[in-house]
Amino acid sequence: MKSLRVLIADDDGLTLMVLRKILVAMGHTVVGEAGDGQQAVALAREAGPDLIILDIRMPKMDGLEAARQIQDLCPTPIIVLSAHSEAGLGIEAVGAGVNAYLVKPFTSEQLKPAIELALASSEKSKEMAAEIRQMKEALESRKLVERAKGILMRQTGMDEEAAYLKLQKTARNENRKLVEVARAIIMAEQLQRDSSKTPVPRGHGRL
């Protein structure tokens, strides 16, 4: 495992000390220590760590809320610590964007696989988010192409196939993406529509 920059947060000083000792022994660097959830969020934003380990029960803001805010600000692999194995906590933790869950007290032998799980889970989440984003972009592109095709059919009397081939040919000739050509056609029609709505100023009469 490569050396990681780790942020740790717990309101118990002893736990922070044990965590720091284990992480350093594993070859990692502790880039920040927080005693409450609010401080953890602020340090995550400032330090940009590779991994964050949060206690669930902390003052000012609990670990799950801190995890939610951190994932919104700067998505990072997160492990949460709890003194108890609480029913339903795992599901709640996943909903907060947590990647692994560890019960206190823990050993380095338990922390190591938790770190590996958190890193792998976070990477998988990023891949899934990228796939969803690509699917949304593809759907949006398809909608724009369909809209542009409809404009060509309305303006020229082409059938659907001919309008699509016209879009493809234009994109190829201009070395542009199909969606860029579609967007340009839609924008041109919108400009034309807007200009036709602009009232012509009346003259002030003859002198």
Q: Where are the beta strands (DSSP E) in 62-183?
A: 78-82, 100-103
**Sign of the C-alpha dihedral computed for residues 13, 14, 16 and 21 taken in this order:** positive
| Residue 155 confidence (pLDDT) | 87
In a domain, 188, yes or no: yes
User: Model pTM greater than 0.75?
Assistant: no
Judge if 101 and 18 occupy the same domain: yes
In a domain, 142, yes or no: yes
Answer yes or no: do 102 and 49 share one domain: yes
Q: Is residue 154 part of a domain?
A: yes
Q: Which residue has the tokens 């002030």?
A: 204
Mark whether 139 and 97 lie in a shared domain: no
98 shares a domain with 11: yes
70 occurs within a structural domain: yes
pLDDT, mean over the chain: 84
For residues 54 and 98, membership in a common domain is answered with: yes
Give the C-alpha separation, 25 to 122, whole Å.
24
Count: domains in the chain: 2
Answer whether residue 90 is part of any domain: yes
Helix and strand counts by DSSP (H, E) for the chain: 7, 5
Cα 9 from Cα 73, distance rounded (Å): 17
User: Is the per-residue pLDDT at 117 higher than 50?
Assistant: yes
Within this chain, do residues 135 and 59 fall inside the same structural domain, yes or no? no
Instruction: Specify the CATH number for the domain of residue 184.
Output: 1.10.10.10
| Pair 64, 145 in one domain | no
CB-count burial class (<10 Å; 0-12, 13-18, 19+) for 184: middle
Decide if 11 contacts 39 (C-beta within 8 A).
no
Cα separation, 56 vs 22, whole angstroms: 19
Task: Say whether both 98 and 12 belong to one domain.
Answer: yes
Residues 6+ away with beta carbon under 8 Å from 14? none
Share of the chain above pLDDT 70, in %: 87
Least confident of 109-113, 118-122, 168-172: 118-122
| pLDDT value of position 205 | 46
Give yes or no for a contact between 80 and 98, defined as CB atoms under 8 angstroms apart: yes
- Looking at the structure, do residues 77 and 41 belong to the same domain, yes or no? yes
| pLDDT given at position 122 | 72
* Dihedral sign of CA atoms 141, 142, 147, 150 in order: positive
**pLDDT tops 90 at residue 43:** yes
Domain harbouring 37, CATH code: 3.40.50.2300
- Does residue 54 form part of some domain? yes
Query: Domain range for residue 66?
Result: 5-106
Q: What is the pLDDT of residue 201?
A: 58
Q: Say if 42 falls within a structural domain.
A: yes
11, 85: one domain: yes
Q: Are residues 95 and 139 in the same domain?
A: no
Q: pLDDT tens digits, residue range 142-193?
A: 898 899 888 889 888 888 888 888 888 888 888 988 888 888 889 888 888 8
Q: Is residue 182 part of a domain?
A: yes
